[in-house]
């Protein structure tokens, strides 16, 4: 057996798994999307049908808001944690990265415990103002859940990137008269940009597609993964849910590809 054919043989398991669990279902999904009463127009319906369009926009806005909020919070926290040495720092980092261990369902449950009908926030607000503040079962609760979910991932990436930063860069900028803000703007953020893009893309993809948290909070939250679920299980509308699935996949993939081309480094898909 020649060397080349041996290598090919080794690739066989991967090839068959890819074919069985990725290529075939994808092809089937693409096909299913066009097998409804509207044919290929089913794909256009994602944009043309007002209900679908609203959901799509909602999902995009949610994902973008999550990404921006996560990046801001995690960059500040990550830089602080990387630079400061204080007692309890290791424990704090461990606690902050704890959510990595939770699946989406648990995160959803925690949001309910925080902002649900029997939640802590409702309890406190009803004591203070007489008004019970409940927002767990809406897109706001979902936003909070995704934030909780994404912050640890971004913090870790930022800390790793900040550690690699030459301390001389900041000292050089300061020697030239740069204020702390100017150092942040001209030195630190540009150096962190690849890490910000990479981790931001993951946060975005997670918020676009994560299902567990949304499903735990409520079945009527107006985001794409929930829409796919309800179209499929409740309305039995296979063609629409297939078309929506393809649409969601393509948009998220585009986002990641765009981030990858900007960052020039590996951006792993998530969600």
Partner 1 sequence: MSTMTRHGAALKVENCGKTFADGTCALARATLDIAQSETLVLLGPSGCGKTTLLRIVAGLENPDAGGRVLFDGKDLTRQPIEKRNVGMVFQSYALFPNMTVADNIGYGLKIRGVKRAERAARVAELVVLTNLGGLEDRRIDQLSGGQRQRVALARAVAIRPSVLLLDEPLTALDAALRERLRGELNSLLRTLGITAIYVTHDQAEAMELGDRIVVMRKGAIAQIGTPREIYFTPADRFVAEFVGAANIIEAPIDGTHLVLPGGRQPIADSGPRNQAVAMVRPETIGIVEAPASGLTGVVDSVRFAGDRQRIIVRGAASIPLTVDAPNTIKVHAGERIGLSIEPNSIRLLPAEG
The answer to whether 169 and 191 have CB atoms below 8 angstroms apart is yes
* Buried/exposed code over 64-90 (b: 16+ C-beta within 10 A; e: otherwise): bebbebbbeebbebbbebbeeeeeeee
Q: How far is the CB of 173 from partner 1 (least distance, A)?
A: 7
Token readout for 20 is 């069985």
262 binds partner 1, rule: CB under 8 A: no
Q: How far, in Å, CA of 191 to CA of 131, rounded?
A: 46
CB 79, CB 196: distance < 8 Å: no
CA distance to 71, 169, 176, per residue, from 184 (Å): 15, 11, 14
Single out the residue of 38, 132, 174, 260 in contact with partner 1 (rule: CB under 8 A). Answer: 174
Residue among 69 and 191 whose Cβ is closer to partner 1: 191
Closest distance to partner 1 from the beta carbon of 168 (Å): 3
Q: How far is the CB of 165 from partner 1 (least distance, A)?
A: 10
Q: Does 166 bind partner 1 (CB under 8 A)?
A: yes
- In the stretch 178-197, what mask flags binding to partner 1 with x, by CB under 8 A? xx--x---xx--xx------
User: Of the ranges 168-176, 196-204, 222-230, 263-271, which one interacts with partner 1 (CB under 8 A)?
Assistant: 168-176
Is 118 or 179 the residue whose CB approaches partner 1 more closely? 179
How many Cβ atoms sit within 10 Å of the Cβ of residue 247? 20
The residue from 13, 87, 88, 177 that contacts partner 1 (CB under 8 A) is 177
49 lines the binding site for partner 1 (CB under 8 A): no
Those residues whose C-beta lies under 8 Å from the C-beta of residue 91, and which sit 6 or more positions away, are none
Of 120 and 172, which has the nearer Cβ to partner 1? 172
- In the complex, least distance from residue 158 CB atom to partner 1, rounded to whole angstroms: 17
Q: Which tokens hold the place of 149?
A: 């979910």
| Residues in touch with partner 1 (CB under 8 A) | 166, 168-169, 171-179, 182, 186-187, 190-191
């Amino acid at each position: 057996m020649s060397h080349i054919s041996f290598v090919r043989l080794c690739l066989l398991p991967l090839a068959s798994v890819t074919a069985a669990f990725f290529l075939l279902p994808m092809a089937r999904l693409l096909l299913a999307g066009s097998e409804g009463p509207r044919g290929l127009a089913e794909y256009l319906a994602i944009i043309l049908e007002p209900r679908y369009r609203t959901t799509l926009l909602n999902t995009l806005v949610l994902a973008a808001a999550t990404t921006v909020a996560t990046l801001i919070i995690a960059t500040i926290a990550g830089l602080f944690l990387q630079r400061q040495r204080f007692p309890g720092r290791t424990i704090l980092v461990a606690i902050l990265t704890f959510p990595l261990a939770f699946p989406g369902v648990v995160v959803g449950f925690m949001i309910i415990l925080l902002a649900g009908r029997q939640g802590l926030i409702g309890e406190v607000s009803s004591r203070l103002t007489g008004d019970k503040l409940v927002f767990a079962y809406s897109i706001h609760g979902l936003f909070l859940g995704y934030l909780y979910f994404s912050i640890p991932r971004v913090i870790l990436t930022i800390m790793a990137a900040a550690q690699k930063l030459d301390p001389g860069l900041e000292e050089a900028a300061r020697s030239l008269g740069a204020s702390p803000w100017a150092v942040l703007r001209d030195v630190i953020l540009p150096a962190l940009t690849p890490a910000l893009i990479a981790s931001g893309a993951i946060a975005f993809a997670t918020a676009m597609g994560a299902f567990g948290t949304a499903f735990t909070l409520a079945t009527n939250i107006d985001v794409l993964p929930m829409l796919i679920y309800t179209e499929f299980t409740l309305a039995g509308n296979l063609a629409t849910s297939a078309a929506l699935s393809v649409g969601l996949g393509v948009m998220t993939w585009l986002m990641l590809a765009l981030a990858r081309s900007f960052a020039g480094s590996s951006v792993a898909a998530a969600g």
